[in-house]
Amino acid sequence: MKALIAASAGLAIAGTPGALLGVCFALGFHVLRRLRRAPSALRPALIVLLIELRSGRSVLGALQTVAAAFPGNEELARAARVATISGLTNAVLPMRGELRGILSQLARAQKSGAALGDTVRAMIEADVADEKATRVARSRALPVRLMLPITLLVLPGLVLLLYAPSMLYLFEDLSGPFS
């Protein structure tokens, strides 16, 4: 829809090259938005970690299993290596991003003696709640985002459909029958 609007605006402003340029810009922005919202492997890793912890494995063993289950995640593999060599608390320091928060919560829970399974379950629930809040916010913004296409594309067709027969009848009465 955005590509159609961009092409129409480009066509009105600069002709055929403008229409092509408008479509390219619209599709380029669409691709960039998709890349920004790349899904993270946080929740599947947390689920595997929870399964491992609930089955009775140690934190270190569970972390190594998670790193083996997700071989493409180099940060997770590095965290498992550092935790194996120098402990879970020291594995938090070189980490960045989401994994740092997870490891720090696990290290705190391990130090305090809290149930690690409950800690991981709370992290999963927080991740699900964040995603749900994002989806609800996007769905609430949908009517506002659809107002422009409906106004520009559907409403003129509806007006034409409703008023065209009466306008043709009026012109026929004023000028005589069309032959």
Q: What is the pLDDT of residues 117-166, one digit of tens each?
A: 888 899 899 989 998 999 999 999 988 888 888 888 788 888 888 888 88
Does the pLDDT value for residue 10 go beyond 80?
no
H or E segment and range at residue 117:
helix 116-149
Q: What is the mean pLDDT of the chain?
A: 82
Render 45-83 in DSSP notation, one character per residue. Answer: HHHHHHHHHHTT--HHHHHHHHHHH-TT-HHHHHHHHHH
Does residue 40 surpass a pLDDT of 70? no
Rounded to two decimals, what is the model's pTM? 0.60
Tell me what the mean pLDDT of segment 28-56 comes to: 77
The answer, yes or no, to whether residue 26 has pLDDT greater than 80, is no
